Structure 1
């Protein structure tokens, strides 16, 4: 389970350590991206071969696994948004847009959204992650939220609104960049239309079963992971108190691009993903909220949402 401890008085990261850990490199990102997209390619091929040979039902377990890999392309978007996945800015942009297109989350929009999340983490009035929806009002709504479907529907709807209305107004979108968000949304939508028309023309459902359905199924893995990052942590400005690091297995850390070390990332967002394990060794004693695996943390975040709902009901009723 996740536990809160009192941070020790250990020394903070020195300037020399920060400079050393902040060095960016292309190769770790290339290896990680190649393995991530490679896994998607392998399982996509298996899904198609099994479905074609034995029937779609036999491919369902493979679709579930594919869902994990496709949904966690969000982590590629996240790291490239920080421009720390690669040393090359061009590589960050190309891989970032490719991954954003794959998960239906326009890249430039997400960069702006995420920048404000880092600036105002856990601020209920300014953190975009706390502004995109109310606390679920029932266990049914809570389960729907944990499915990730609510969030996917919201971001797809937002992209369509940007594309078709030309209106991209939000506190985290500067007025001078609204046209960029609108243009990007239109390009993404145009790309999806081209792929849809191509699928019709070729009479194939390949993209549906190796991409779209896995993306939806994969939210069942991604959303509990994302809720673990800050849910139930303190509403303070300190990354060591408002964020949770979750200690988990090597596979999860690999395909989440080391973001389970989330306290470390928020405390020092300029440090690339591949240096976060070393950073953890330095600052581990200062981390207040730490989770021991995502199953235990999910139980805790679910319980937190239920408690907050109860507090809200009592405030509204005056009890």
Structure 2
């Protein structure tokens, strides 16, 4: 079935246009509240450093830093602000903080949207099938950060090997990688000159140590679902709290986002309700903890992710759930 026609069965064009309206005010409210929370926890971490109170503050601060990627993601889609340049330059700033250059991330992520769950073309599936050990290393962040740093170093050397990066895009990511590397080295030099640990305490250490909190979101969105071109079969939403939805810029409504990526984050709840009404049920949905328990249980009993059929769902709620199969979207 034609994808556009299938989507129109769920959401009328006029309704989509209404939902897709951007707002500088709503974008600023989300961005300022997230950065404001980081500034507060950063100040508190600095003031309490060396005491036991610093431990929970460190954890909260690192979690907030990692979930900034949700903002970078939305900014790459250009849906946070109505003013276009704000989307680009705030996205670049967050990409620098995340050690995840904005232009590269945008190229990779758009390949992910165009070819979701296609092993050959999905920009976010450029990996070997998970084994239990490799999954736990990725979930913890221990294998995440080395890949991010190595990629920037490779781009800075002029080496681009990603198949989803076109030839005409290579200089763009090479230039970006060199800018990032140069600025990181400059910050290291300044820190050494002033003999300051501020960047380590307030940025690098908490962000690296708490990456696992954001990996809970990264891993739940598509893993264990069908490798098909049907969004309702290859994408999963997340059951969670209002606090987590704020911190993740509403990206827990992930099926809604994939189905209509032009809709701003702050309207995804309404979009999700429209979709559920249109399909007569809920899309795939799990909670963070139940998902991780199920993934670990399944991988512990298999050699690797490749042991499970790609045309079947192998991670689902134990007590049932899901939705009736619909035409491909």
Q: TM-score higher than 0.5 here? A: yes
Contact 2:226 2:234 in 1 (8 A): yes
Hey, what does 2:227 align to over in structure 1? 235
Instruction: Please show how residues 112-261 of structure 1 align to structure 2 within 5 Å.
Output: 112-131=107-126, 133-137=127-131, 139-163=132-156, 165-261=157-253
Question: How far apart are 1:305 and its partner, in Å?
Answer: 3.9
Question: How far apart are 1:99 and its partner, in Å?
Answer: 0.4
Contact 2:236 2:254 in 1 (8 A): yes
Q: Does 1:15 align with 2:13?
A: yes
Secondary structure of the structure 2 residue equivalent to 1:246? strand
Contact 1:229 1:245 in 2 (8 A): yes
Hey, what does 1:33 align to over in structure 2? 31
Aligned mates of 1:47, 1:129 — CA distance in 2:
34
Aligned mates of 1:240, 1:253 — CA distance in 2:
21
Contact 2:276 2:283 in 1 (8 A): no
Question: How far apart are 1:303 and its partner, in Å?
Answer: 3.4
Secondary structure of the structure 1 residue equivalent to 2:238? strand
Instruction: Please show how residues 31-110 of structure 1 align to structure 2 within 5 Å.
Output: 31-51=29-49, 55=50, 58-110=53-105
Contact 2:79 2:87 in 1 (8 A): yes
Give the 3 Å change call, closer, same or farther, for CA 109–42 of structure 1 in structure 2.
same
Contact 1:169 1:178 in 2 (8 A): no
Q: Deviation string for 1:184-241 (max 9, x for gaps)?
A: 1111111111111111122210110110011112211011211100011111212111
Aligned mates of 1:249, 1:96 — CA distance in 2:
26
Contact 1:106 1:185 in 2 (8 A): yes
Secondary structure of the structure 1 residue equivalent to 2:227? coil
Aligned mates of 2:62, 2:193 — CA distance in 1:
26
- What are structure 2's unaligned runs of at least 5 residues? 1-7, 310-329
Question: How far apart are 1:309 and its partner, in Å?
Answer: 3.0
Q: Deviation string for 1:271-310 (max 9, x for gaps)?
A: 110110100111125343111x211122223334445635
Q: CA RMSD in A?
A: 2.1
Contact 1:108 1:180 in 2 (8 A): yes
Aligned mates of 1:238, 1:87 — CA distance in 2:
30
Contact 1:229 1:243 in 2 (8 A): yes
Larger relative contact order (CA 8 Å, sep ≥ 6): 1
Secondary structure of the structure 1 residue equivalent to 2:270? helix
Aligned mates of 1:306, 1:172 — CA distance in 2:
32
Q: Does 1:276 align with 2:268?
A: yes
Aligned mates of 2:276, 2:143 — CA distance in 1:
34
Question: How far apart are 1:312 and its partner, in Å?
Answer: 4.4
Contact 2:79 2:262 in 1 (8 A): yes
Secondary structure of the structure 1 residue equivalent to 2:249? coil
Aligned mates of 1:76, 1:186 — CA distance in 2:
23
Give the 3 Å change call, closer, same or farther, for CA 49–310 of structure 1 in structure 2.
closer
Contact 1:232 1:304 in 2 (8 A): no
Question: How far apart are 1:71 and its partner, in Å?
Answer: 0.6
Aligned mates of 2:305, 2:86 — CA distance in 1:
46
